[in-house]
Amino acid sequence: MTRDEALQILAEADLIVGAADIQNALGRMADEITARLGETQPLVLTVMNGGVFLAGQLLPRLRFPLECDYIHATRYRNTTQGHDVEWRVAPRESVAGRTVLVLDDILDAGITLAAIKARLLADGAVECLTAVLALKEIGRAQPIVADFVGVTLPDRYVFGCGMDVRGNWRNLPDIHAVKGL
């Protein structure tokens, strides 16, 4: 996608959730996570690349000891269509015997996040909790329910706050929907 194409997509997009509402949701999520995990020392795994925004905004709000690492599993590969889950990077830290918190940008079809959770539990995590900035209401059952959710979105192709449109616009402080998708 060219710069002009990316700018055109943003210019035509619908604003779905503004930056102030995102910040409020992050504060609420931090309070919920602290209430649940504040007396533990979890391993926090950020799902690349989408989870970077959530991790960068959420982690400074968690005022208890935790360890950070990342995992890279994807279905989209800079496209708007999902494929099979591709595992690119497993956590460097062992999850065996640990409480793990997985941070991701969005729960839509739920296939990737469900596969990540299943793998971490199979690798010996005693508990695997999930936090997503956005839950998309897709109108059908999802294979996983997130433990912590920031905002709920309509069933549209969205971008911003870690979510991309063909590799672009993860950096926006608010969430937009692509016109026509």
Q: Output the CA torsion 96→72→87→76 (10° steps).
A: 140
Strands across the sheet containing 14-17? 14-17, 175-177, 158-159
Q: Please answer whether residues 125 and 96 qualify as being in contact, where contact means their C-beta atoms are separated by less than 8 angstroms.
A: yes
pLDDT of the chain along its 181 residues, tens only?
Answer: 899 999 999 999 999 999 999 999 999 999 999 999 999 999 999 999 999 999 999 999 999 999 999 999 876 555 555 557 778 888 888 999 999 999 999 999 898 899 999 999 999 999 999 999 999 999 898 999 999 999 999 999 999 999 999 999 999 999 999 997 6
Domain range annotation of the chain? 3-73+87-177
CB burial of residue 117 (10 Å; 0-12, 13-18, 19+): buried
Rounded Cα distance, 31 and 54, in Å: 15
Indicate the CATH number for domain 3-73+87-177.
Answer: 3.40.50.2020
- Backbone phi, psi, residue 34, to 5°: -65, -40
Q: Which of 40, 57, 20, 63 is nearest to 131 (CA)?
A: 57
